[in-house]
Amino acid sequence: MNSTKLRRGKSLARRRENIAGWLFIGLNFLGYIAFKLAPLVFAGVLSFTKWNFTSGMKNIKWVGLKNYMDMFKDEAFLTSLMNTIVYSLIMVPVAIFLALIFAVILDKYVYGKGVLRLAFYLPYISSMIAVSLVWMILFLPTNGPVNQILTSLGVENPPRWFNGSSTSLLSMAIVGVWQRLGYNIIIVLAGLQGISASLYEASDIDGANVVQKFLYITIPSLSSTLFFLTMISFINSFQVFTPVKVITQGGPGYSSSVLVYYIYQKAFQYSELGYASALSWVLFALVFVFSFSRMIVDYMGSVKQRKGGTK
Amino acid sequence: MKKVMAFLLALSTALSLGACGGGGGNTQSTPADSGSTASVESSQDSAGGENAEGGEKTLRMYAWTNEKVMPPFVEAFNEKYKGQYKVEYCYIPGADTLTINTALASGEAIDVMTQASAFDMADRAYAGTYLGLKKFFDQEGWTYDGVFGSSIESIQNLDGEYYSLPYGKSTQLIWYNKAMSDAAGVPYPEPGWSWDDFRSTCIAMTSGEGSEKVYGASIDFDAEGDLYWCMMAFQEKGAFAYYNDDFTATAFTDDIFKQSLRFFSDLMLVDKCIVPIEEMKAFGYTNDTQNIIGLYNGKFAMCFVPDYGYQYLEKSFGEVPEGADIGVVDMPTLSGGKNVTTCYTSTASIPTFCTDEQGAWELIKFMCIENTEYFAGIKCMTPGIEFESPEKAREFYTWMFEHTDEKVGLDHEMALDVLTHERQLVSVDNTYMPGQGKLIEAMKAEIALVFNGESSVDDCLTKLKTVSDNAIADALKS
């Protein structure tokens, strides 16, 4: 009898606890539905339509898969897609690799860590608009400081940076790396704090040198940190927009046009909401496929590691 | 206790969220609320509703003009329509497509909306956002070309209907620094000059090297609205210059387009006497204000800026240097001796959801036709209407100089003289919609490559024609 009462009391308490919990996440969930999920679904529906949003909802015209089919004939879209991938493939590895080097140096080999950390982090919290304008001046092909230095060093034809078709995307990636580096360093530094000193002490006893310690202790120990950074950096780099809008507007030609900028142009300059929504879904799919495949690779790696450990 | 706290916390969050989103029916936040005009207590009461005092209907007009210069307009309209209508000016932060489209889609009561892009206007008109205005012209006994001229009429005519009235036409002129000409011993440009004269003046005015280099002129080839790169083609062919006769293809490979693009690209890349494209962007000369500031600070001797350029010769845009002496001259032409220039319009339209059609018509008639000085005038713009006579034009510009801030360093007599010249105006606006988005996009991309030295004139125009023709064909097919 007592145990039944106790069970009933526990169940009631759990139910009340659940209700309280639901009340908390319920509000957040409502916000998520209203501001994230519903627009996402709406964009999905819009991607099968032709719509100018000033004309009102009644003028949405169903076009089926036309928007999706059109994009593969759209040279500007294909160039923007390729540029986005190239930008990410340059920006992400370079920013992570440099962050790793700088973080290790900052962690062990320099004085004034706090000041240096702040110095590296400043670009990340600076306004991208202001930063873009500064980089525009620095990279001026004719009288910019960077090219003046290169010329004084004997470079006869210095690059045209943002103003050259072959260098504009690379220049954009340089700005991206410069801005992202500080954030990456902070994350890697946090990861470095978590590596047990005993591992390095043991390796000292085994006679490992600095490079061996870095390759066989630091990097493997940072694998989850690096995985997080890779994911976040790729997702961010797929969404690059501000420097493109401010500095090059996608030019010269389409050489620095990226997916988000192209979507912005289609949606808000040419009022092609349906087509822009279809492009947004392609961007979403791209990020999703990348994130998912990276997770699978990571999962398989950890399974393999566990199996190896069992053996 | 914990659960009670949890419930109270959740409830208070819900209530505060509700409070944030509530009140839609009674109190609407409008651009006017954050601007200088009086806040609106109730959109229903204010917009189109009858005011308790005097029975006047309130009309809402949306534009990006600085609120500080609007009171004379508002007072003059309210005085003229006393007892019938009163206008409430609502400031929007700019003429961007997105800003205006968002305002139109927001559900706000809007009686008159302004815009700077003919493409946007046509896009909105075809989307059914704007009211046809032909019935009002019939009611007044006017014709559109009779009021605004044939070039503008041809642009504004969308399948026999008109959806906007131009309140201003930005007429392309060349502004020059007289002090620099004096110092270099180069004579001032004269009306009726030719493009060859322009080139030799540019070369003569170019001096210095590196960051100290002073250029002959600054011309923004990036702006899609100005279309300076093909100015010669518009001067020779008239409105819709880059289409064939039946609008089924473009004419970008015609000799006149090649001639025009080659002329300007040679100025930049061969003669190196106009500001290079990268410096245009980096120093903000793509913006009219910065262009005039660069001119009076001696960075270049001439610049292409529409007729409203002199409004930037004012202290609020930066300190005008002592002794600044700015002149203005008409555009050159191919063989000289003529006065043909291009223009683009800024327009006002009535949304289909306006609160009072007749009232909205009276308002745009006031601003665009009958009392242009109060809107175009205070913005230092040439009104969209055709002046009845040179005397009327002089009267307008004299009023304008008297009623706007002092223009430091401007040769007022010369400006008055040039502004009132008789000239043939060709509109570069484009309201022919099939494939136009793609065409504009391709134009921006391809033309920049020529000025960057990465593409030849022939290759660029051939590609531009191919892309544009395909876009038109696809659009017409679908």
Check whether residue A157 and residue A119 sit in a common domain. yes
Q: How many domains does chain A have?
A: 2
> At what angle are helices A168-193 and A113-125 packed, to 10 degrees?
140
Q: Two tokens at B207?
A: 């001096």
In a domain, A219, yes or no: yes
Measured CA to CA, the distance from residue B283 to residue B274 in angstroms comes to: 14
Measured in Å, how far apart are chain A's first and last C-alpha atoms? 51
DSSP string, B58-100: EEEEEE-S-GGG-HHHHHHHHHHTTTTEEEEEEE-S---HHHH
pTM summary value: 0.81
Check whether residue A15 and residue A126 sit in a common domain. no
Give B113's contacts (C-beta < 8 A, 6+ positions apart).
Answer: B62, B100, B103, B104, B348, B349, B350, B351
Check whether residue A41 and residue A95 sit in a common domain. no
**Predicted pLDDT of residue B320:** 77
Fold (CATH) for B33-164+348-399: D-Maltodextrin-Binding Protein; domain 2 (3.40.190)
Check whether residue A11 and residue A83 sit in a common domain. no
Count of H-run helices and E-run strands, chain A: 15, 2
| Average pLDDT of the segment spanning B346-351 | 96
Check whether residue A147 and residue A207 sit in a common domain. yes
Better-predicted residue by pLDDT, B340 or A301: B340
Give me the residue spans of the domains in chain B: 33-164+348-399, 170-344+406-477
Q: What is the pLDDT of residues A18-63, one digit of tens each?
A: 888 888 888 889 999 999 999 999 999 999 999 887 777 778 889 9
Check whether residue A210 and residue A127 sit in a common domain. yes
Q: Two tokens at B310?
A: 């002199």
In a domain, A67, yes or no: no
Contact B282 A137 (CB under 8 A): yes
Check whether residue A132 and residue A29 sit in a common domain. no
Which residue among A20, A249, A268 sits closest to B7, beta carbon to beta carbon? A20
Measured CA to CA, the distance from residue A213 to residue A219 in angstroms comes to: 9
Query: Highest-confidence range of A223-227, A269-273, B47-51, B128-132, by mean pLDDT?
Result: B128-132
Is 60 exceeded by the pLDDT of residue B4?
no
Question: What residues of A are in contact with residue B452 (Cβ under 8 Å)?
Answer: 160, 163-165, 252
The residues in A 171-230 lying below 8 A from B, measured between CB atoms, are none
| Average pLDDT of the segment spanning B283-296 | 90
Q: CA torsion angle for B416, B417, B423, B426 (degrees, to 10)?
A: -30
**Best CA proximity match to B90, nearest among B57, B124, B62, B128:** B62
DSSP string, A136-192: HHHT-TTT-HHHHHHHHTT-SS---GGGSTTTHHHHHHHHHHHHHHHHHHHHHHHHH
**Predicted pLDDT of residue B19:** 40
**3-state SS, residue A283:** helix
Question: What residues of A are in contact with residue B446 (Cβ under 8 Å)?
Answer: 253
Same fold, B33-164+348-399 and B170-344+406-477: yes
Q: What is the pLDDT of residues B139-188, one digit of tens each?
A: 999 999 999 999 899 999 999 999 999 999 999 999 999 999 999 999 99
Is 90 exceeded by the pLDDT of residue A162?
yes
Which residue among B10, B124, B279 sits closest to A140, beta carbon to beta carbon? B279
Better-predicted residue by pLDDT, B211 or A308: B211
A253 to chain B nearest CA, in Å? 4
Give the range of the structural domain holding residue A41, as residue numbers without chain letter.
2-46
Is 80 exceeded by the pLDDT of residue B453?
yes
**Predicted pLDDT of residue B309:** 85
Is 50 exceeded by the pLDDT of residue B14?
no
Is 60 exceeded by the pLDDT of residue A1?
no
**Predicted pLDDT of residue A93:** 95
Fold (CATH) for B170-344+406-477: D-Maltodextrin-Binding Protein; domain 2 (3.40.190)
Is 80 exceeded by the pLDDT of residue A204?
yes
**Best CA proximity match to B291, nearest among B278, B272, B306:** B306
Which residue among B2, B7, B441 sits closest to A23, beta carbon to beta carbon? B7
**Best CA proximity match to B174, nearest among B203, B217, B214:** B217
Burial A264-285 (b: 16+ CB within 10 A, else e): bbbbbbbbbbbbbbbbbbbbee
| Average pLDDT of the segment spanning A186-196 | 92
**Predicted pLDDT of residue A96:** 95
A56 to chain B nearest CA, in Å? 7
Measured CA to CA, the distance from residue B388 to residue A249 in angstroms comes to: 43
In a domain, A271, yes or no: yes
In a domain, A258, yes or no: yes
Interface probe, candidates B115, B119, B120, B278, chain A, greatest A C-beta count within 10 A? B278
By CB neighbour count within 10 A (0-12 exposed, 13-18 middle, 19+ buried), where does B184 fall?
middle
Instruction: Label residue B32 by pLDDT band (50, 70, 90).
Output: very low
Check whether residue A126 and residue A259 sit in a common domain. yes
Q: What is the pLDDT of residues A211-247, one digit of tens each?
A: 898 899 999 999 889 988 998 899 899 999 999 999 9
Instruction: Label residue A103 by pLDDT band (50, 70, 90).
Output: very high
Contact B128 A55 (CB under 8 A): yes
Check whether residue A25 and residue A92 sit in a common domain. no
Measured CA to CA, the distance from residue B384 to residue B121 in angstroms comes to: 16
Q: What is the pLDDT of residues B191-214, one digit of tens each?
A: 899 999 999 999 999 999 887 899
